[in-house]
Amino acid sequence: MERTCLAVILAAGESTRMKSSMSKVLHPVAGRPMIAHVMDAIVRTGISDVALVVGRNAEEVAAAASVAGASVTPVLQTERLGTGHAVLAAREAIGRGYDDILVAYGDVPLITDAPLRAAREGLAAGNDVVVIGFHTDNPTGYGRLLVADGELIAIREEKDASDAERAVTWCNSGLMAINGRKALDLLGRIGNNNAKGEFYLTDLVEIARSLGGHAVAVDAPEEELTGCNNRAELAAIEKLWQQRRRHELMISGVSMIAPETVFLSHDTVIGQDVLIEPNVVFGPGVTIESGAVIHAFSHIEGAHIATGATVGPFARLRPGAKLAEDSKVGNFCEVKNGDIGRGAKVNHLTYIGDAIIGAGSNIGAGTITCNYDGVNKHLTRIGENSFIGSNSALVAPVSIGDGAYVASGSVITVDVPDEALALGRARQETKPGRAKLIRERALALKAAKKAAKS
């Protein structure tokens, strides 16, 4: 839209019902502060200027709201005297002369750009106030949107509504757009002659109409306008976000056997023809290319998984894990800051940390890269087409060449050249008959102890 717009985001609440040591809007949805989700919707609407009304944890909230494409100016609300008073905390920014003022809240992380665009379009059509509403089967507690001849004539709070008005199921979300050229005048006319002595933004509808202006309401899905006041509502919002994102991914070509058991992060990227089995959790920073398979009960964070790679079941990929094409990290394996080369296999019960594994290599069960000396991390390099036998410990820093072979049970502390065999274990000794003697001694000791007790 060619019209200029300022978004005023209200995020100064005390968050009392969250029972938390930090501001409500900092609590994460899909691993990201809910205020950042709201900011994304603002930016997608084409709005770059934002006045962020803050209170508790002001610096942290402002930092969380700093997303690409937005210029955020924090303004401090020192008193809590209602929503109208909160918006006027941004008086200086509003006074710069924007065409549109869009008022939103930092605790509605499911909002998309569609209803915000619709509200701005309502202003472009000549209205002074555009309220975003939603239809619900359970309107109890919400202000009702009262409409006549296509115009919004009032927002009636439930306690003040008549029986007929309480039957209305179109409700106020609190989000609205205001004619920017008239905003300060309209906001300045809001009074506090009510039981709480507060200044309510909802009064703008009747104020604008009393001055000859027009007000309308636009509709949005109830889910998008879900607000958060406590931990139970936070969990409900997380569930809704996950459902929405799973659906988007499946429509885009991702297969999920039991989607309700897969948990995604806000930035999870998954390509077409990826198969995700049940009970998989994605932390931040995961990219999965087409054709990969993620088996059940895997936990993946900060990892890049290339085309045709296989993970799990019961695998953990930590930040810095990179799996090349057709590689495999199998059951009960952990990879951190490790590059697994094309076609390489880390099949089971193995830890790979701070390591580079060449293409085609095989890492046997129980192998450990001993990367930490108690102070610093060190690198292990394994060449192409090498074989690391089961139960081997590779003490970094160490390099193993192309085509090398490490015998099972070895402790490797020295570099292994290309095509070499390395053995780092004690020589086996066999004592014929000694097992029988040990067993007889143990049985005799046990019998003696039993006799002493009796």
- CATH code of 292's domain: 2.160.10.10
**23 and 129 within one domain:** yes
- Domain assignment of residue 335, yes or no: yes
Q: Is there a single domain that holds both residue 267 and residue 217?
A: no
pLDDT value, residue 101: 97
Choose the weakest-confidence range: 65-74, 144-153, 189-198, 282-291.
189-198
pLDDT of residue 158: 85
Q: CA 318 to CA 184: how far, in whole Å? A: 51
Q: What percent of the chain has pLDDT over 90?
A: 89
Residue 442 lies in a domain: no
For residue 109, pLDDT beyond 80:
yes
Amino acid making up residue 168: V
Most confident of 80-89, 142-151, 269-278: 269-278
421/367 Cα distance (integer angstroms):
16
Q: Within this chain, do residues 365 and 401 fall inside the same structural domain, yes or no?
A: yes
Which pLDDT belongs to residue 171?
96
Segment 391-420 shows an average pLDDT of 96
Same domain, 286 and 221: no
Question: How, if at all, do strands 28-29 and 32-33 pair?
Answer: antiparallel
Q: Does residue 183 sit in the same domain as residue 316?
A: no
* Closest C-alpha among 319, 348, 321, 313 to residue 333: 348
Domain end, chosen from 225, 256, 278, is at 225
Mean pLDDT of all residues in 227-256: 97
- Residue 107 pLDDT more than 90? yes
pLDDT digits (tens, 9 = 90+) for 219-239: 999 999 999 999 999 999 999
Contact of 119 with 218, CB cutoff 8 Å: yes
Q: What is the pLDDT of residue 249?
A: 98
Q: Is residue 445 part of a domain?
A: no
Query: Over pLDDT 70: what percentage of the chain?
Result: 100
Q: How many domains does the chain have?
A: 2
Structural domain span for residue 399? 231-422
* Residue 277 resides in a domain: yes
**Residue-level pLDDT at 78:** 85
Residue 152 lies in a domain: yes
3-state secondary structure the chain: CCCCEEEEEEECCCCHHHCCCCCHHHCEECCEEHHHHHHHHHHHCCCCEEEEEEECEHHHHHHHCCCCCCEEEEEECCCCCCHHHHHHCCHHHHCCCCCEEEEEECCCCCCCHHHHHHHHHHHHCCCCEEEEEEECCCCCCCCEEEEECCEEEEEECHHHCCHHHHCCCEEEEEEEEEECCCHHHHHHCCCCCCCCCCCCHHHHHHHHHHCCCCEEEEECCHHHHCCCCCHHHHHHHHHHHHHHHHHHHHHCCCEECCHHHCECCCCCEECCCCEECCCCEECCCCEECCCCEECCCCEECCCEECCCCEECCCCEECCCCEECCCCEEEECCEEEEEEECCCCEEEECCEEEEEEECCCCEECCCCEEECECCCCECCEEECCCCEECCCCEEECCEEECCCCEECCCCEECCCECCCCEECCCCCCCCCCCHHHHHHHHHHHHHHHHHHHHC
Shared-domain flag, residues 398 and 311: yes
Q: How far is CA 88 from the centre of its chain?
A: 32
Please tell me whether residues 68 and 152 are part of one structural domain.
yes
Last residue within a domain, chosen from 225, 246, 276 = 225
pLDDT at 283: 98
Mean pLDDT along residues 13-25:
88
- As a whole number, the mean pLDDT across the chain is 95
Confidence at 211, pLDDT banded by 50, 70, 90: very high
- Asked if residue 384 belongs to a domain, the reply is yes
Angle between helices 34-44 and 113-124 (to 10 degrees): 50
Co-location of 294 and 329 in the same domain: yes
Q: How far apart are CA 204 and CA 371, in angstroms?
A: 64
Contact 153/147 with Cβ under 8 angstroms? Answer: yes
pLDDT reading at 192 higher than 90? no
The model's confidence at residue 309, banded by pLDDT at 50, 70 and 90, is: very high
Can you say whether the dihedral through the CA atoms of 424, 430, 436, 441 is positive or negative?
A: negative
pLDDT of residue 401: 96
Q: How confident is the model at residue 81 (pLDDT cuts 50, 70, 90)?
A: confident
**CATH number of the domain where residue 65 is located:** 3.90.550.10
Specify whether 180 is located in the same domain as 310. no
Contact of 129 with 204, CB cutoff 8 Å = yes
Q: Does the residue 431 lie in any domain?
A: no
pLDDT at 1: 66
Same domain membership, residue 205 and residue 273: no
Q: What is the C-alpha separation between 181 and 178, in angstroms, rounded?
A: 9
Q: Looking at the domain assignment, is residue 452 inside a domain?
A: no
Q: Are residues 359 and 300 in the same domain?
A: yes
Cβ-contact 365, 391 below 8 angstroms: yes
Confidence band (pLDDT; 50, 70, 90) for 390? Answer: very high
Same domain, 159 and 196: yes
Q: Which of 338, 274, 356 is nearest to 309 (CA)?
A: 274
Which amino acid, 242?
Q
Domain boundary (207, 225, 243) is at 225
Give the catalytic positions in this structure.
Answer: 348
- State residue 361's pLDDT score: 98
Report whether pLDDT(93) > 90: yes
